[in-house]
Amino acid sequence: MFEQLGLIGCGLMGGSFALALKRAGLVRRVVGYSKSPSTTARALQLGVIDVEAPSALLAVSGADLVLLAVPVAATETTLKAIRHLVSPDMLIMDVGSSKRDVVDAARRVLKHDVGVFVPCHPITGREVSGVENADAGLYAGRQVILTPIERTLTTKLDQAVALWRALGCEVVTMSPEAHDAAFAAVSHLPHLLAFALMNSITGQPEGKDYLSMAGPGFRDFSRIAAADPQMWRDVLIANREELARQTEQFQLALAEFQHLIVNGQADELERLINRASHARANWRVSPGAR
């Protein structure tokens, strides 16, 4: 049980975390801050937070749990804003989709206090954003990746693990580097491809007509293209090196397909599709299959 959650960023991820914690009876009071005062006001109105803070620093004042739920590029500025109230009694976590940049920012700003910061990435999200869509069930049944560094305090890590488990999550621990490599492949690149496909189609004169004929396959494939632009801008830039590596791998795989298609090599093409189809048919969303 936490006394006070200092919530910095009252959007979909932050708002849902506050609601989940409340529903699980794990927090007594949520003090929230958002860059936009109207978001903070709305969060209060919706019962997502109990108290509006006029600054990130004041949201942290008196908190034993702090969640940074801001676009990853805002991590450093946010940590600088709260650093004077960071104390050893506090657990600080984030929910960013890239981890090396977040960890580097935490090291730079928190210095000897960096041990209270546990970098987290809950594998969840929705194609809508904003506190209006906050959902107490957003985290339940999902994986959360924790990427502690050498200086992360074991007590803080244990506390974070227990907290996420209490919300119904499966916790996995790995290095920030391993995290960023994996998510470049299974999340950042798919988002990039979905964004590029949407812009490719809408950029054509007949794009609107084409879209009017798209079916359920397109619906599912393109769903992630509706993701939050600000959040994804930061993630794609933060993890650009691993993303470039994955894009290159993808281009090679695509070129292999194109070669067979252009040459009408049906048997080889079927084998290639078969490999993809089998891999996908045998995959299950984590943690169900584990």
User: Residue 259 CB, nearest distance to a second copy (Å)?
Assistant: 11
- Range 135-154, binding a second copy (CB under 8 A): 142-143, 145
Per CB under 8 A, which region of 10-18, 34-42, 74-82, 227-235 contacts a second copy?
227-235
- Range 99-128, binding a second copy (CB under 8 A): 123-125, 127-128
Closer residue to a second copy in complex, CB, 55/200: 200
Per CB under 8 A, which region of 3-11, 25-33, 51-59, 234-242 contacts a second copy?
234-242
User: Residue 50 CB, nearest distance to a second copy (Å)?
Assistant: 30
By the rule CB under 8 A, 168 interacts with a second copy:
no
Q: Of 94, 101, 180, 228, which lies in the binding site for a second copy, with binding defined by CB under 8 A?
A: 228
| Residues in contact with a second copy, shown as a per-residue x/- string from 8 to 37 under the rule CB under 8 A | ------------------------------
Closer residue to a second copy in complex, CB, 112/290: 290
Residues 242-247: contacts with CB within 8 Å, 24+ apart? 242/180, 242/181, 242/183, 242/184, 242/188, 243/184, 243/188, 243/189, 243/192, 245/181, 245/184, 246/184, 246/185, 246/188, 246/189, 247/189, 247/192
User: Residue 271 CB, nearest distance to a second copy (Å)?
Assistant: 8
Per CB under 8 A, which region of 41-49, 108-116, 159-167, 200-208 contacts a second copy?
200-208
By the rule CB under 8 A, 59 interacts with a second copy:
no
By the rule CB under 8 A, 193 interacts with a second copy:
yes
Q: Of 84, 111, 165, 275, which lies in the binding site for a second copy, with binding defined by CB under 8 A?
A: 275
User: Residue 203 CB, nearest distance to a second copy (Å)?
Assistant: 7
By the rule CB under 8 A, 205 interacts with a second copy:
no
CB atoms within 10 A of CB 184: 25
Closer residue to a second copy in complex, CB, 45/258: 258
User: Residue 187 CB, nearest distance to a second copy (Å)?
Assistant: 6
By the rule CB under 8 A, 130 interacts with a second copy:
no
By the rule CB under 8 A, 155 interacts with a second copy:
no
User: Residue 148 CB, nearest distance to a second copy (Å)?
Assistant: 17
Per CB under 8 A, which region of 9-17, 30-38, 54-62, 213-221 contacts a second copy?
213-221
Residues 6+ apart with CB under 8 A from 35: 9, 70
Q: What is the 3-state secondary structure (H, E, C) of the chain?
A: CEEEEEEECCCHHHHHHHHHHHHCCCEEEEEEECCCHHHHHHHHHCCCCCEECCCHHHHHCCCCEEEECCCHHHHHHHHHHHHHHCCCCCEEEECCCCCHHHHHHHHHHHHHHHHHEECEEECCCCCCCCHHHCCCCCCCCCEEEECCCCCCCHHHHHHHHHHHHHCCCEEEECCHHHHHHHHHHHHHHHHHHHHHHHHHHHCCCCHHHHHHCCCHHHHHHHHHHHCCHHHHHHHHHHCHHHHHHHHHHHHHHHHHHHHHHHCCCHHHHHHHHHHHHHHHHCCCCCCCCC
